[in-house]
Structure 1
Amino acid sequence: MASGGSLLTEEHLLCPICLDVFKKPVSTPCGHNFCLPCISSYWDTTFVSQCPVCKEDFPNRPNLKVNIFIADLLSQFKSLQGLNVHSQRSAGQQPVSCGIEVQCDFCSSQAVKSCLDCVWSYCDGHLQPHDSVSELKRHTLVGPVESLGEKVCRKHRRLMMLFCRNDNTVLCDLCIGSGHANHDVVSVQSGYDDMTLQVLRNEVKVQRMIQERTQKIQNTKESLMQGKTETNKLIENGSWDLTQLVTEIKRTQEELVKVFEEKQKEAENQATDLITDMEKEISCLKVTAKNLEELKELKDPVCFLKRYPNQSLLPHTMDLSTLNFIRHLEVKYMHKSVRNSVCHMQDLLGKLNEELNRFSNSTDTSNKATLRYMQQYGEDIVLDFDTAHPMLTLSADGKQVWYNMGTGLWGNQIPKPNMFTQHLAVVGQRGFSSRRFYFEVHVGQKTEWCLGVATASLQKNGAIVRSPNSGLWAIWFLVDKFETFSSPGEAVHAGKVEHVGVFVDYNGGQVSFFDVVRAVHIYSFTECLFTEELYPYFNPCDNEYGSNLDPMIIVPVSSAE
């Protein structure tokens, strides 16, 4: 065990958080030691259980117990320290803080006293003038103080042992009367403990912000790379499709020319044959006409009858009534058919150009695309009657919920095990985990409502603490602005919405809210750590901000145009 010449000092038994001797020492799984109250308070302010020294994260908050070995060592050390102090006082020496050596300001020896008037620390040799010079005898000597110049009040020449929380400044006992009489003044140690805890909290926040931004940068880079890959793929596929379309159009054009030329040649051949046949018939008919003319000139009956042919006087000819050569009408019909097809294709190309222009010039295209992406994960949500607060009314199909003023007090109702008893809330029947899901809610002209998702273990009996660790990720609408349930009073969006979309990416740690009508992003919780099933959460609220009796309605998922 430690002795007067032992290497063990008080520094080995100081808590890294409060920098004081251990109180109920405990050891974390990573091997570092802390006061049980200090590490418990520290973890109460963080999202994850992390060692303040090595920053190792623990998946579950460790159940720490007092380290008996360190506690016993501390007890024996304090006993030994008491013996050393007693021996020092018996020898007429000023006890020196264990483990802290203050060097003389004039040599390398250890200081035995510090002067508040001179603001110097002295060894035995350099302290002699204060024992012999009358002027120096009136100075105030104290035990050696490290960094004395920073700890002495320049105005009153006294040690600054107090801290003013109002002005965030260090004071001596005489400073209180000059401007700090009604202020919150505590000991320096208390102020140090408070500010150290604040530093630790800020450190946790800064580290979390660094992690969030680092992750956001990584996500942005990944999204950019994915977008670039998709863009290149779209360019390649789109160009190939359009090239194929152009090739097909050219092939169709060539086929059209070929067919029309062949049909025209066929028509010309038919017309030539017809004309030739009819010209031959005309020649025959002319011969027949001449014979008939000669026969008509005979006036003698005997001669006429002897000359009259035994066969028909008319030659065999084509039936002109069966011939209807209207080739131009066929061409006109085909021209109209081709023109209609071309116009239809031009309309399709026009719509494609409109989409491209809208994508190029519109500022909300990204939001619409994001909303369309989320809507593909739409789920049918039905409310759980057993969880509804007694002052809420639900529709028979479990799709609507509203505040019922006429319900009044609970009366003789017996609270159900999973019922909300203070918050005017209800959750969905089904929970979701390890997947994406989306649902939409119509809130109309309501003046107040709260909507989001909650864990199965969310506090239902009594008030829900509005903190990031409550197990509720929700937005709260108040008259004309939005705030998150976990950060009251901090506006995250302004304006009024009638139709809200809620998207959850469980594995991605994200909960997003959209104004479906205008395709406007309202707010997103990111970098969330989900460890249990999530249930849709609805709170129609009361009439505190005006008429608010309209229901919250779960509606079928629409499609962003």
Structure 2
Amino acid sequence: MASSTSLLSEEQFHCPICLDMFTRPVSTPCGHNYCMACIESYWDGALVCQCPVCKERFEMRPHLKVNTFISELKSQFMLLQVTDQLQVNSGSVVLCDICIDTQQEAVKSCLECLTSYCEVHLEPHHRAAGLRKHTLVNPVTNLEDKICKEHNRLLVMFCRGDGVLLCDVCTSLQHVSHDVVPVLQAYKQMSALLGDTEAKVQQMVQERQQKVQAMKESIKQSKRETEDVVTNNEQELATLLYEIQKSHAELVKVVKKKQKASEEQVEGFISGVESEIMELQITMIKLRELKQTEDQLRFLQNFPNSPLLPHTMDLSLFSFNRHLEAQHIQKSLGSSVSQLRMLLNQMNAEISKFAFSDGTEVSNELMLRYMQQYEVNVSLDLRTANPLLILSDNCKEVRYGMGSGLWINQNLNPNMFSEHLAVLGTRGFSSQKFYFEVFVGRKTEWCLGVATASLQRKGGITRTPHCGLWAIWFLEDKFETFSAPGVPVYLGKVQRVGVFVDYDVGQVSFYDIQRAALIYLFSDCSFTEQLYPYFNPCDNEYGSNLDPMVIVPVSCTE
């Protein structure tokens, strides 16, 4: 029967090679003990077999078998560790399950009977031959929750890979090659992880609170400066002619419109950050509640398999510098007023410039960095490629060609495009956001976007908004959308294109990476099935066009 006292220490059951608890312990002829896998691996390829500890050499490689005595001793030691810890954590009196009238305090719990006994009702376990073989441990509450349902043995191990509690039999039969550690070790490691995560969550909450406060102060300052711009210029322009009054009215309209747009932008950001704060605070509460769970088994059973931290935005991607624009227009107009007769046209031009300048270049740069956070690994699906396309061995490049290249798809199958020179990505997406980049170089024609799994593969594809393809088509020096042929949406050539999809919002956007410029945005899309990246390198109709379309990582430079 088990006893809660032991003169053994955990270090005595550590393998000298892996420095962890024995797994299938074996003994060498010199009397030292190792994990079977450790010593076998140590001897593999060695010219002479010797003991890693005492260096004794063996003329022939010893034939090793599991030392059942050490294995059972290790199991008993771990059993004592767990039962002692369970009793410490229970913190309450365990009553005898057999007493009828007045329940007495239990002195032992039987792992085979799953019952706790007082001194009187424990007596048969000392007397009866069959019961004497049962394993008795110090009284444990809710004993049935701590026993393996399959082998009726105490749960003493934890598989970190599968996230499940195991008994010693489960460990030796079903999890031999898994990352299995004692319950106590797993509890300490994961408790430490919770502590670190809680501190990180608290720091993230503080950062967001500080960011929100800074944004609130910035918008107040911006509003004051905007009002100052309106008031100061109103006094100076009030005495001028009709043209000056017209310019002033236009200035007020533009500045207020800009201010309103800025306020709406910051308010949207603040709302998102406050939502993140609420979600992080909820996460922190949950982490604290889980961290306070002293019952190791319940702690591990309740430990979430999903990531501990919720997905949050990068705060560095958003900044507010509206007041700089206000300062710029104030300085520009102040100079113009002093020479108004001579510079009236210039002043109107500045107002118009301010009216139509919305910080697009800066905003697009920040937006591009934000989208690149959602980069996914995209590979081309050989089964969908048109037979006239050539794919690279790593399925990252596709080009038009016949009879040359790294790979040519010759076998027709129902998944491939028969007429369109297209190929899809291997992975489909049905929620959240995803992003990928494609290098098109000097190609004179190409088509890129995302398509539904049900997109027509045989014959031509009708170019309508409801065909299941959201793509841009480049023709020599201009862009049009696949769904609206003949209508230019962007002029000029690009070398590298970023594709960003917000599935839940219903948007697909395309960016010129070099200029950080938006090429086109599909909005208000209704997605009802998985979306797959779509690539069409096109033929040579508009000149030499044999260069490939190449899927490149965000970190890659030309």
Q: Which range, TM-score by smaller chain? A: 0.3 to 0.5
Q: TM-score, normalised by structure 2?
A: 0.37
